[in-house]
């Protein structure tokens, strides 16, 4: 699994030394693929035992497996970077998004959706809100009616008094940079509100604050100095989640009928 995903999943378990090591590794992935553990400890001003503990926190058996994952991830990135055609980038993003989705243990997410009394949705931009609107529409036949928060002020009001631990908040963001609603997200986290983040694959604030994470890959196309993003991958991951929940819903329906 990609290092960024693992860091987001285990962010709350990481201490200052761990983050210092990760920061160095993120900036020097190629060098770290062959770097001995003693040298990495020296570069990060930590110790061999600290690096081994970090590797185990992230789910690896030890430092060797951690290094192997860096090499594997780098090879995948190199393949992606060789795609010079904008048309071929669509296929690369789609395949990467599917891979990320299939790597995720969906059971806790599906249970959360099923058990939630209310489901609130917030997108950090108009495009993200369009994706969530389509996602919400799919659930209507299942008698699940999502509440789409269409502005920052609505999220602020919901965070202050409306959302409870029995609800679920789904937040969709391209970058995971949520500085404008950071206070609201901190409040929701402190209140124990279940949060599902859906973000681009990278180490980001939103994913580290959420209870559950889903990722997509959306590679920007640079035109006249501006990053242009396709929202196809966002629709893909939300559609995949809906289909997975539909399977879960049908299975639960069958089990209820049998009992």
Contact present, 92 and 102 (Cβ < 8 Å): no
How high is the pLDDT of residue 79?
41
Output the pLDDT for position 108: 95
Q: Which of 161, 158, 151, 4 is nearest to 74 (CA)?
A: 4
Separation of alpha carbons 127 and 175, rounded Å: 13
Long-range contacts of 103-109 (CB under 8 A, 24+ apart): 103/1, 103/5, 104/213, 104/214, 104/215, 106/241, 106/244, 108/212, 109/196, 109/212, 109/214, 109/241
Distance (Å, whole) CA 149 – CA 151: 6
Query: Which stretches of the chain score pLDDT less than 70?
Result: 1-2, 72-86, 202-204, 225, 259
Per DSSP, the three-state class of 60 is: coil
Domain 3-82 has CATH 1.10.10.10: yes
Contacting residues for 77 by C-beta, under 8 A, at least 6 apart: none
CA dist 37 and 31 (Å) reads: 12
Does the predicted TM-score (pTM) go above 0.85? no
Q: What is the pLDDT, as a whole number, of residue 91?
A: 83
Counting DSSP H helices and E strands in the chain, the numbers are: 13, 7
Residues 35 and 32: their CA atoms lie apart, in Å, by 5
Contact partners, residue 86, CB within 8 Å, separation at least 6? 221
- What is the CATH number assigned to the segment(s) 105-258? 3.40.50.10490
> Where in the chain are all domains bearing CATH 3.40.50.10490?
105-258
List where CATH 1.10.10.10 sits in the chain.
3-82
Return the pLDDT at 81: 45
Burial class of residue 160 in the structure, from the number of CB atoms within 10 Å of its CB (0-12 exposed, 13-18 middle, 19+ buried): exposed
**Measured between alpha carbons, how far is 234 from 7 in angstroms, rounded to an integer?**
21
> What is the reported pLDDT for 76?
47
């Amino acid at each position: 699994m990609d290092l960024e995903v693992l860091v987001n999943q285990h962010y709350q378990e990481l201490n200052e030394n761990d983050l210092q090591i990760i920061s160095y590794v993120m900036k020097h992935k190629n060098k770290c693929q062959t770097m001995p553990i003693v040298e990495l400890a020296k570069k990060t001003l930590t110790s061999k035992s600290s690096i081994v503990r970090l590797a185990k926190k992230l789910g690896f058996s030890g430092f060797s497996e951690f290094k192997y994952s860096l090499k594997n991830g780098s090879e995948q990135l190199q393949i992606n970077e060789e795609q010079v055609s904008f048309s071929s980038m669509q296929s690369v993003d789609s395949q990467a998004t599917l891979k990320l989705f299939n790597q995720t243990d969906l059971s806790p997410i599906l249970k959360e959706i099923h058990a939630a009394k209310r489901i609130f949705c917030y997108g950090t931009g108009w495009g993200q809100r369009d994706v969530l609107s389509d996602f919400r529409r799919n659930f209507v036949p299942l008698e699940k009616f999502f509440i789409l928060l269409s502005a920052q002020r609505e999220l602020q009001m919901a965070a202050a008094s409306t959302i409870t631990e029995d609800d679920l908040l789904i937040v969709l963001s391209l970058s995971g940079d949520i500085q404008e609603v950071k206070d609201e997200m901190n409040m929701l986290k402190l209140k124990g509100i279940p949060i599902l983040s859906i973000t681009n694959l990278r180490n980001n604030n939103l994913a580290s604050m959420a209870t559950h994470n889903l990722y997509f890959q959306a590679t920007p196309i640079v035109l006249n100095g501006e990053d242009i993003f396709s929202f196809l991958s966002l629709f893909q991951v939300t559609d995949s989640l809906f289909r997975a929940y539909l399977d879960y819903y049908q299975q639960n329906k069958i089990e209820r009928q049998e009992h």
